[in-house]
Amino acid sequence: LFQSMDQGFCVLEMIFDETNRPVDYRFLEINPVFEKQTGLKDATGKTARELVPELEPHWFERYGRVALTGKAERFVERSDTMGRWFEVYAYKSGGTESKNVAVLFTDITEQKEKDQHIRESEERFRALADESPMFVFIIDPNPLAPVAYWNKTWLQYTGQTVNEALGRAWDGIIHPDDIAVVMEYYGPAFEKRQPYLIPSVRVKRYDGQYRWHAFKGNPRYLPNGEFNGYVGVGFDVHEQRLAEEHVPLLFYAPNLITPQKRTETVSQIDVLPTIAGMLQMPYTNSTLGRDVLDTAKKENAAFIIYHAPGWIGVVNDDYFYRKNIRIKKDELVPVRNGLPVLTQTQTDSVKDKMSTLTSALYETARWMLVNNK
C-alpha cells in the first residue's frame, strides 16, 4: 500500500531549538510518489532546510504543533519557495514521547492555477460587463433561473443593491403578468441546454415605471464540459414595442390643411380627435375611455369640443360632463333615466373624475398639435 499510493507520503522527525520552537524537520521515510509531488530528490535522511534553504517557517510551525499536541491537521497551503500548492493531512506518528509526524499530501498546483485563471477571467468579464449599456447576467444551473450576477447597469436601472438583486429577486422587477413569459422561454431551453431569446417583457425601473426589454441567454460551461447555467444580456426594446402597437400619423384633408406625414409614435385612437381638433370641429369617439382589459365593463366616454369658446367635455354611459377652460365653471347632467340621485359629495366625486379625464384628453390632443409639426 505504501508503495502504490497516489498521494505523496513521508514521515518527519521534528527538530526543535532550546526553547522548544520547531525550526526544521528530517525526512525519515518517503514513498515513490514523494519526488514527483515535491520535486525533491534523495530526501531520505536530509532536513528540509538542506533541501530547501528558504522554506517558509509556517511549515515547521504546523508540523511542530502536530508533534507537540498530538492533534492531526488538514490544510491547503502554498510554498512560494517551491512554487507549489499542497493539500495536506498531518498526524502524529509513534508514542507520546515521539516527535515524529506522518504526512499525506497531494500537489494541487495545476488545479489551483486553473481556479486562479477562472477567477481572473470572471473578474475581467465583470469589469467589461459593468461598462455595458445593456443588462448582463449570470444564471445558476437551476430550472428556477436564480441569478448569481447582475451588472451595474441592472442595479442602476432597478435601484437594487448587489445582494437584493440575487436569486429570484427579479420576480419583483419583471411585471407580474410577464413572469410566466420568462419561464415559457427559459424552461424548455434549460432542459435542452439551448440558447433562448425572450422577445419582450416589462421591467420595472427604480421609479416604478415599466419599460419593455428583451433578454437573450446562452449556455455556460466549465472547462471540464459541465453545464454551468447561463450568461446573457437584456436590452431595451420599448420604442420598438410601442411602434409595433401604434401607427404613423398622417394628416390629409384637401383644401383644409396641408398634407403631412409624421413619423412620431402616437396611439391610433389619437388620430381622429387630433384631426378634428386641427379642423376646429366637434368630434365623438366611442372608443375613448373604454378599459379593453376589463371585459365586464363596457363603459364608453366620448370627448367633445364645442364651438363655444372654452368649453370641452366628455359623455359616458351615465353622465354628460362639460367644463370651461377659460372660466371656472362646469356642469354634470344625467344622460339616461333611472340613475340614483347623488349627494353633493357623490356629485363632486363624479365631477372630479370626469374633469380629470376631460383635461387629460384635451391636453394630450393639444400637445400633439403643438409638437407634431
> Per-residue b/e over 235-260, b at no fewer than 16 CB within 10 Å?
ebbeeebeeeebeebebeeeeeeeee
| Structure confidence by residue, pLDDT tens digits, 226-276 | 999 999 999 998 877 766 655 444 444 445 555 555 554 444 444 555 555
Q: In the structure grid, which three cell numbers stand for residue 172, read together?
A: 419583483
Mean pLDDT lowest among 43-52, 53-62, 148-157, 245-254: 245-254
pLDDT of residue 280: 54
pLDDT for 173 beyond 80: yes
Phi, psi of 330 (to 5 degrees): -150, 165
pLDDT of residue 289: 39
pLDDT of residue 357: 80
pLDDT for 202 beyond 80: yes
Cα gap 312→75, rounded to integer Å: 82
Residue of 272, 300, 271 whose CA lies nearest to 286: 300
* Res. 294 pLDDT band, cuts 50 70 90: very low
pLDDT of residue 297: 45
On the CB side of 155, CA atoms within 13 Å amount to 15
pLDDT of residue 186: 96
**Across 148-161, average pLDDT:** 94
Classify the phi-psi angles of 354: left when phi > 0, otherwise alpha if psi is within -120 to 50, otherwise beta: alpha
**Across 282-298, average pLDDT:** 44
* Res. 358 pLDDT band, cuts 50 70 90: confident
pLDDT of residue 72: 95
Average pLDDT, the chain: 82
Domains and CATH numbers, the chain: 8-107 (3.30.450.20), 113-241 (3.30.450.20), 247-371 (no CATH)
Element (H, E) at 111: helix 109-130
Cα gap 321→335, rounded to integer Å: 10
